Amino acid sequence: MLEVPRVTPLPRLLAVVSILSLAASALGAEPPAPLAWRPLPPLPDREGFAGSYAGASNGDLIVAGGANFPDRRPWEGGTKIWYHHVFVLAAENGQWLRSDRLPKAGGYGVSVNLAEGAVFIGGGDATRNFNDVWLVRSAAGRVTFTAWPALPRPLALMAGAAAGRNIFVAGGQSAPTATQAERVFLMLDADRLGEGWKILPAWPGAARIFPAVGTAGDAVFLFGGAHLKPDAAGKVAREWLRDAYRYDAATGWRRIANLPRVAVAAPSPAPHHGGELLVLGGDDGAQVSTAPTAHRGFPRDVLAYDPAADQWRRRGEMPFSLVTTTLTTWRDQIVIPGGEARPGVRSTAVWAAPLR
């Protein structure tokens, strides 16, 4: 009689993988090493920017838009200014060049890379958020913008990532004056642009701004962020989050292990490196009541998530701490261009680490 092979249930299979991983560790297998960071040429601006878009096209690194306080800090009555600037870096030891302007001055959207170029999604300025989506390409130092299907609603302060040809966006705010976050999860198939963005079921947790989103294979991961709720005086307050979720098209969402600490506005997309998804710093909320002039900067530790074992560990530290900034990849490197070094204080630094 033919014997039918028995299929190991997924939970048991994951347990076996975890046990084998621990056994390998006991036999001396080394976990992935900390990332080796080095500076690239700084952005050509006196202050630097938070919330910039960033991506790669035809071998060029592109950084665009964002906002800063060019004259006075916000606690001194300074005004936040939004930018059209587009900067292009063609070589690691080269100089940043100014290119054509963004279609709209703004920032705090999502940026992902595809084979045909970078995709800049949503964002906003001081008075409105955008639903615009642009394919961004660089050629001979000139950057062009081609309109792609718009988001079904304006969004900024969200996060997103690409899994193959599918682009995912999660969370955010619909307007700068909104008193609540959005619990929305969207997907665009870059090979079926005519179908537009699809609204998928959202994760089973709170609505949030500034999460980190990453992908491993076809799975999408949502980490942390901040929920918005009224405080005792009726003003909008942030609830700092540590929860995390995994999405698979076949099975939907499920909750996974909490982050070791709160992480809000960490550089996103969260990169997949050495079999782990990395949450690079982020605001842990520990200094939320600290005066801006006494702020010591944000955490520098790297939180590494192993999808097979559903476990977190700390994977070294970075030589910088930047939040509200985009992460992109360029020439087999992770790149973090600028960001917020302390509340109201931007950075011109651009950091890179090899992906291999």
Residue 69's CB is within 10 A of a number of other CB atoms, namely 19
Decide if 7 is inside a domain: no
Structure tokens at 262: 């709160």
- Identify which of 255, 283, 328, 345 has the alpha carbon closest to the alpha carbon of residue 70: 345
Decide if 13 is inside a domain: no
pLDDT tens for the chain, residues 1 to 356: 333 334 344 444 444 444 444 444 444 467 788 999 999 999 999 999 999 999 999 999 999 999 999 999 999 999 999 999 999 999 999 999 999 899 999 999 999 999 999 999 999 999 999 999 999 999 987 999 999 999 999 999 999 999 999 999 999 999 999 999 999 999 999 999 999 999 999 999 999 999 999 999 999 999 999 999 888 887 889 999 999 999 999 999 999 999 999 999 999 999 999 999 999 999 999 999 999 999 999 999 999 999 999 999 999 999 999 999 999 999 999 999 999 999 999 999 999 999 98
- Identify which of 356, 321, 315 has the alpha carbon closest to the alpha carbon of residue 340: 321
Position 18: which residue type? S
Please name the residues in contact with 278: beta carbons below 8 A apart, sequence gap of 6 or more. 35, 214, 270, 271, 272, 302, 303, 304, 305, 315
Decide if 35 is inside a domain: no
How far is 67 from 59, CA to CA, in rounded Å?
26
Decide if 37 is inside a domain: no
Decide if 25 is inside a domain: no
Contact in structure between 335 and 54 (CB atoms under 8 Å): yes
Decide if 226 is inside a domain: yes
pTM: 0.90
- Identify which of 262, 238, 253, 239 has the alpha carbon closest to the alpha carbon of residue 201: 253
Task: Write out the H or E segment, with its range, that includes residue 119.
Answer: strand 117-121
Please name the residues in contact with 175: beta carbons below 8 A apart, sequence gap of 6 or more. 124, 128, 129, 154
How far is 243 from 149, CA to CA, in rounded Å?
31
What is the structure's pLDDT at 9?
Answer: 47
Backbone angles phi, psi at 265, to 5 degrees: 65, 30
Contact in structure between 281 and 321 (CB atoms under 8 Å): yes
What is the structure's pLDDT at 162?
Answer: 98
What is the structure's pLDDT at 29?
Answer: 60
What is the structure's pLDDT at 300?
Answer: 97
Q: Say which CATH number the domain at 245 has.
A: 2.120.10.80
How far is 271 from 299, CA to CA, in rounded Å?
18
What is the structure's pLDDT at 98?
Answer: 95
Decide if 142 is inside a domain: yes
Decide if 26 is inside a domain: no
Structure tokens at 168: 């995912």
Contact in structure between 285 and 295 (CB atoms under 8 Å): no
Residue 236's CB is within 10 A of a number of other CB atoms, namely 13
The residue range of the domain holding 250 is: 42-354
DSSP class of residue 5? P
**Number of domains within the chain:** 1
Contact in structure between 159 and 170 (CB atoms under 8 Å): yes
How far is 302 from 277, CA to CA, in rounded Å?
10
Q: Is the bond into 42 cis (omega within 30 degrees of 0)?
A: no
Helix (H, G, I), strand (E, B) or coil at 138: strand
Please name the residues in contact with 249: beta carbons below 8 A apart, sequence gap of 6 or more. 218
Contact in structure between 172 and 184 (CB atoms under 8 Å): yes
Contact in structure between 138 and 121 (CB atoms under 8 Å): no
How far is 320 from 341, CA to CA, in rounded Å?
8
